[in-house]
Amino acid sequence: MLKNCKKEKACMYNIDNVREDFPILIRQVYGRPLVYLDNGATTQKPRCVVEAMVDEYYNVNANVHRGVHFLSQQATELHEQSRETVRRFIGARSASEVLFTRGTTESINLLAFSFGEAFLREGDEVVVSAMEHHSNIVPWQMVCERKGARLRVIPMTDAGTLCMDAYRQLLSERTRIVCCTHVSNVLGTVNPVEEVVREAHRHGIPVLIDGAQSTPHFPVDMQQLDCDFFAFSGHKIYGPTGIGVLYGKEEWLEKLPPYQGGGEMIKNVSFERTTYNELPYKFEAGTPDYVASHALAVALDYVSALGMENIYQHEQALTRYAMEQLQQLEGMRIFGPPAAEGQHDAVVSFLVGNIHHLDMGTLLDRLGIAVRTGHHCAEPLMHRLGIEGTVRASFGLYNTKDEVDALVAGIERVRKMF
């Protein structure tokens, strides 16, 4: 019997109890306590997620949808219950609007290919923002090149926010879709995506929201956002790697052709003609990662038990504290908007004096502090800022003020070495 991972103690947000759920946090790096501040890249996993995967492999492992035997039916039930868990978590109207993918990147590639095949023609335009991750730039560049369409870019201000007036001027009868990140993985900017959606819908234009950096940090609701497509990854919300979600409004998904062909996505196949399966299976060719889908559902249950609003308030306080403390350091440059409520979320990117970001990150690592360095898969954004890269500290539900203090002390120690 698979274990229920909703913990009684999780009903109240207690950081000490939470940290006990993540065994990796007690390990040492180079003889020092691990301070893990790279959650924007991937989060650590609670015991219940790993145990759920082990339990399913040991006790329920069988291919889904295709078998009449007991194990296959049980595995299928877990897989489809997981889809329903995702539906509830993001507020989709129907489980058929929830597509399982390998992550945000595949979700966007799926949409770019299928939408491009159905709706993009020569001279059409796709709008993206200046702060997009490469995963929300390159797939659209590829389809634009294939179809003879043009990529248009919403500019951003020096403060790291979108120029909404310029965005409105970009929308025209040639615009076919708008693609915008919910939260910048570099700047921590929380974009006004509801306004982005409203403006696009005034022109009858659908909108994709990249939710990779928002879904782990605060509640998201598809009915409130009213976006047409929404993508996120399991591994950034305390679930396993290799699983992700593309949400799409049913009326849009019905219009799009399949992304891949094979088993599962068909109703009937002959050498003369193939008819496709109903939603969501039309877009899920081949054997799905049914173990990871279940583990993702366990992760969503875990954060739901903690309370997404509680997680948000904890991380907001941590982000504000970090920015306040970092700004006191000599030579500190922090990129992105101020840490005002609802504007900056769980990410702090910075440079210190003339210290190269790679040098800073490498030396912090020797102190047991894990941060990310480089362009963070956002080279156009770096060009806009006039820099090569940054050091990025990104927070999760288990991080503490003591860890922020360790980061600040580590940066000051490194700074004095140069």
Express each pLDDT in 50-67 by its tens digit.
999 999 999 999 999 978
Whichever domain contains 331, its CATH number is 3.90.1150.10
Mean pLDDT value of segment 151-179? 97
In this structure, is residue 162 part of a structural domain?
Answer: yes
Q: Taking the alpha carbons of 16, 20, 21, 24 in that order, is the dihedral positive or negative?
A: positive
Residues 297 and 318 in one domain: no
In this structure, is residue 373 part of a structural domain?
Answer: yes
Which residue has tokens 């730039």?
A: 137
Whichever domain contains 157, its CATH number is 3.40.640.10
> What is the domain range of residue 14?
8-37+307-415
Residues 286 and 402 in one domain: no
Length of the chain: 418
Q: Residue 377 catalytic?
A: yes
Final residue belonging to a domain, choices 244, 277, 304: 304
Return the closest-CA partner of residue 29 out of 363, 408, 269: 363
Mean pLDDT value of segment 367-392? 97
Residues 294 and 312 in one domain: no
Q: In whole angstroms, what is the distance from residue 247 CA to residue 227 CA? A: 9
Express each pLDDT in 141-153 by its tens digit.
999 999 999 999 9
Which residue has tokens 């054997």?
A: 287
Higher model confidence: residue 266 or residue 203?
203
Residues 223 and 82 in one domain: yes
In this structure, is residue 48 part of a structural domain?
Answer: no
Rg (CA), the chain: 22
**Phi and psi torsions of 219, nearest 5°:** -60, 140
DSSP 8-class letter at 348: E
pTM comes to: 0.95
Residues 364 and 281 in one domain: no
Residues 227 and 81 in one domain: yes
The predicted pLDDT at position 341 comes to 64
Mean pLDDT value of segment 15-25? 97
In this structure, is residue 12 part of a structural domain?
Answer: yes
Residues 355 and 409 in one domain: yes
Residues 204 and 226 in one domain: yes
Number of domains in the chain: 2
**Phi and psi torsions of 68, nearest 5°:** -95, -10
In this structure, is residue 202 part of a structural domain?
Answer: yes
In this structure, is residue 1 part of a structural domain?
Answer: no
Return the closest-CA partner of residue 177 out of 221, 118, 135: 118
Name the catalytic one among 5, 11, 144, 377.
377
Final residue belonging to a domain, choices 253, 284, 304: 304
In this structure, is residue 42 part of a structural domain?
Answer: no
Contact criterion met (CB below 8 Å) for 347 and 257: no
Range of weakest confidence among 10-14, 26-30, 162-166, 195-199: 10-14
Structure tokens at 236: 């950034």
Residues 217 and 237 in one domain: yes
In this structure, is residue 3 part of a structural domain?
Answer: no
Q: What's the pLDDT band for 224 if we cut at 50, 70, 90?
A: very high
Structure tokens at 340: 């005002």
Residues 29 and 116 in one domain: no
- Has residue 11 got a pLDDT over 60? no
